[in-house]
Amino acid sequence: MTPRRARTDIVRQYVITGGRAAPSRNAPVLDMVTLVVAPGDRPVTGFGPELTSIVELCAGGYLSIAEVASRTQLPMIVTKVLVADLIDTGHLVARRPPPKATLPPGDLMEKVLHGLERL
């Protein structure tokens, strides 16, 4: 019979985030589709491997929070906490996705349709 292995990933995630389960209150609301990019003008010395890898990933261009979580293989909440920390320090810049387009009024669409039918 093999001995049971203790799960070390639970403790590790707690340590990575400094015991926090939510992003800092200074950070913007971070959705899975929020885009982040690293401007590249700040040094990453003294950062842990997770923070360094997030900054390096985002140096290539905008990535969504979901992509960052997937590529770093970190849980979403851990990724949000770390990204919020990097936004607070200026190592990342967040950009909300463009708002969803609204449909024009129905009567306008009918007028366009009738105009097209005349042609």
For the stretch 109-119, pLDDT in tens is 899 999 999 88
42 in Cβ contact with 90 (< 8 Å): yes
> Tens digit of pLDDT for each residue in 11-67?
577 777 777 777 776 666 788 889 999 997 888 888 888 899 999 999 989 999 999
Residue 1 lies in a domain: no
Query: Could you tell me if residue 2 is inside a domain?
Result: no
Structural domain includes residue 72: yes
* Residue 86 included in any domain: yes
Q: How many domains does the chain have?
A: 1
Q: What is the reported pLDDT for 5?
A: 61
Residue 70's contacts (CB-CB under 8 Å, 6 or more residues apart) are none
Smallest CA-to-CA distance from 83 within 11, 34, 40 is with 34
Q: Residue 9: is its pLDDT beyond 80? A: no
Helix (H) or strand (E) holding 35: strand 35-37
Instruction: Judge whether 31 lies within some domain.
Output: yes
Is residue 47 assigned to a domain? yes
Is residue 4 included in any domain, yes or no? no
CATH, residue 35 = 1.10.10
* Alpha-carbon gap, residue 36 to 15, rounded angstroms: 23
- Domain assignment of residue 14, given as a range: 9-118
